[in-house]
Amino acid sequence: MRRRHLALVGFAALCVLVVAAAAGLAALTGESGTADAMVDTFEPRVAVGNESADAFGESGEVVTCNDRGPMPGNAALEGRLELSRPAGDEGPRDAPYRVIVTVGDGLITDSLNVSLPPGESTRWFLPTVVDQPDGLSGGDRVSVRAQVVTDGETVASANRTVTVAERDRPCAESEG
């Protein structure tokens, strides 16, 4: 009887030891916590294209030129953003991120979804053009915020204040 009791106690102790080892191994190798990220580069530009009576010139002819910036009545958010994930990050292997860039109090907003494994980075060129919002004019100083979110938590952000560039006529520099 005593042997049987000793065998049952030994078996129970062995089961507890196996469960504890499995839990410890899962804690050491499992994905824990929220993934981290860093905004390495954030160089936003904001511009508006003013409506003017002669926005396309007086000649009435077709003009061919290479130009940059918003057309009259539009506003643009341009620039670049570089996002990276630390090599030793302990979050999920391919963590999903949402990058949200906002001008002012929501005057212009753009976003990107990206997955990054630890040690990787990505670049994003900001090519957003919208109808010019009320309250955004050339010469204004506006804040531009980049926010990196994963699992509902902001893990990185960057803020810049820029002067809104103004353009009255597309291709004005190329005209004669």
Bigger pLDDT: 174 vs 65: 65
Which residues, in sequence order, are bridge partners of residue 14? none
Predicted confidence (pLDDT) at residue 22 exceeds the cutoff of 80 = no
pLDDT bucket at 71, cuts 50 / 70 / 90: confident
Bigger pLDDT: 152 vs 30: 152
**Confidence at residue 52, expressed as pLDDT on a 0 to 100 scale:** 58
**Confidence at residue 176, expressed as pLDDT on a 0 to 100 scale:** 47
**Confidence at residue 50, expressed as pLDDT on a 0 to 100 scale:** 74
pLDDT bucket at 16, cuts 50 / 70 / 90: low
CA distances from 94 to 41, 85, 125, 154 (A): 21, 10, 22, 17
Bigger pLDDT: 62 vs 44: 44
Average pLDDT, the chain: 82
* Contact status, residue 81 vs residue 98, Cβ threshold 8 Å: no
Predicted confidence (pLDDT) at residue 21 exceeds the cutoff of 90 = no
Where do we find the tokens 């900001």? 126
pLDDT bucket at 119, cuts 50 / 70 / 90: very high
pLDDT digits (tens, 9 = 90+) for 81-95: 999 999 999 899 999
CA quadruple 130, 148, 145, 45: dihedral sign: negative
**Confidence at residue 167, expressed as pLDDT on a 0 to 100 scale:** 78
Predicted confidence (pLDDT) at residue 103 exceeds the cutoff of 50 = yes
